[in-house]
Chains A and B, each alone.
Chain A
């Protein structure tokens, strides 16, 4: 009833008929810039550090593991099932729980943990953002409930920005019910415009960029 009402009013307002195809839409504006990897890393670092996030580049899975351990600084953590984390052996770090299958248990663990460790599907260089696509490997709440978020991201996932993301992933809805861009720590300036971090989401965001030493192995 409401549906018919609203659609009818809309068509009447526009002078359009039921089933009438739309006019030709302006082309979507996607302009992917050219940028080498060094440039991307530097841009990513600058953007995220400006937001008080941290960026490390690890030249091997072992180095990445060391980095994560250092960032954890003795806190407990929940790790996702991202393949890159398994590759780096993150689950074996003291205090890290991985492979929690039960949703209730996962929620409880995340609510109690000092940090959440995830991978990321992509990173965006111009804004210092992580792109997290919800999947069996990546639970949303791991990067959400704990007060700190550590992400390990292979460098081949570093994109220039939004345009490149949506040119590679033009239909995110086909892949997932949730694609999330995380750009720095949670923040608010609602009281007197004074900045406070970690309101609801994590107040700390740390990214470890993994430089896999053999590119050929990827193919």
Chain B
């Protein structure tokens, strides 16, 4: 594992304040979810999961059809679909649009997809003013940090961090009360909304039969960004498509509950193009940006195609004992937790962060709560096998393969297996394992745990003795 990550993980594990924040926040989210998917509250929870998975499977297996249908409907509504192969295409489009309209001021509501392509930084380099308006994202923007969690981006910061940040960057008096901090942000951002030319949003769902983007938010910034500015640009991965408006009850009943234990987020916006002629308000122009950025590559891998079913609820993060210990910043990419471990190697290259799929005990808590029933442990195991196969020859790797070949041989030769077992027992004797052996895997174990005493007789030896008597 690259030293940078080992250090990040080590740092995370020894930061007690952080440990406590992540652990307790995720515990709260887990409990809230449990309450609202309980059999007495949502009796058809398991059926909804089956349905959601079936819809996602069908959609992705026929994605070209649905993308074209979505485009036709958006166009019929008076909007435009922009196809983007990667972040460059998105930036080119937006800068071109800004230039054409003479616009510079952009307000943004939260979107992991835009984090993925590092949109803000790139737009700023093109001299556009981009303001994040989701409170957590706004705070991170001021602090120049990456999100810590898919739905709770500023999980790792305290009110004192925020107080310092606002005083420093906004020139306001230092304020530690959270409600007052929120009102400061509200005031500052309200001005930005009213003055903005372009509002950029993500999209939780792209509805093919409607040409609509569905955005689920709690704060209201999503609404402001898509109502006040003259231009609304929605950016979403191509995998976000669902076939019909009538599929929304299924997904909406799962998303909020899985993410934060809310039956519905405060605002669920179904936006189908620019305002219609007689409507009282709304944007005059609407663009839906369909982003590939490697999704077609994942699509081609049939065995792992279900990685694209993800609706970005963050539930797998909340339930993952590894994520809960090391937090979002220990992961190499913007997507963390189990889904991050599964998609990062697929997007970035198998050997890019080859340690990542191994950093899991395969406990399966994630798969149990995934609203679209992605078999995350199975995908991690598949990735491990692929990584092992494709690893370039290196000293450590070759040793490991040799070790498992030897192990396999021993396990097919019971006589040898038994003999080695007796040898180990003899070496250990009464004093436990001698020092020269306390390295490698044994050394790693002993770092934080004691080893069991090696018994004098193995089971089979005891069994034989038992039968003899």
Contact = CB atoms under 8 A, between A and B. Distances in A.
Interface stretch (A15-23, A59-67, A150-158): A15-23
A141 B194 CA distance: 12
Chain B interface size, as a band, is 35 or more
Contacts of A36: none
B245 A26 contact: no
Given A16-B64, A191-B181, A140 B299 contact: no
A95 interface: no
Contacts, number: 272
A187 B247 contact: no
A199 B268 contact: no
Main secondary structure of the interface of A (DSSP, over half): loop
Interface string A134-178: 111111110010000000000000000111011101111100111
Interface string A1-34: 0110111011111101000111101101111000
Interface string B261-277: 01111111111111110
Contact of A7 (B21, B51, B68, B286): B68
Contact of B152 (A137, A184, A190, A200): A190
A93 interface: no
Interface residues of A, number: 78
A54 interface: no
Contacts of B62: 14, 16, 22-23
A177 B274 contact: yes
Contact of A184 (B84, B193, B266): B266
B408 interface: no
Nearest to A193: B25
Contacts of B248: 162, 166
B249 A162 contact: yes
A181 B83 CA distance: 29
B159 to A, nearest CB: 6
A10 B63 contact: yes
A84 interface: no
Contacts of B330: none
Interface of A: 2-3, 5-7, 9-14, 16, 20-23, 25-26, 28-31, 47, 51, 80-81, 103, 106-107, 111, 126-127, 129, 134-141, 144, 161-163, 165-167, 169-173, 176-194, 196, 198-202
26 contacts: A6-B290, A6-B296, A9-B299, A13-B297, A14-B299, A23-B61, A29-B48, A111-B194, A134-B282, A135-B278, A140-B282, A166-B249, A170-B245, A172-B270, A173-B207, A177-B279, A178-B282, A179-B270, A180-B268, A183-B262, A191-B136, A191-B178, A198-B186, A199-B220, A201-B219, A201-B266
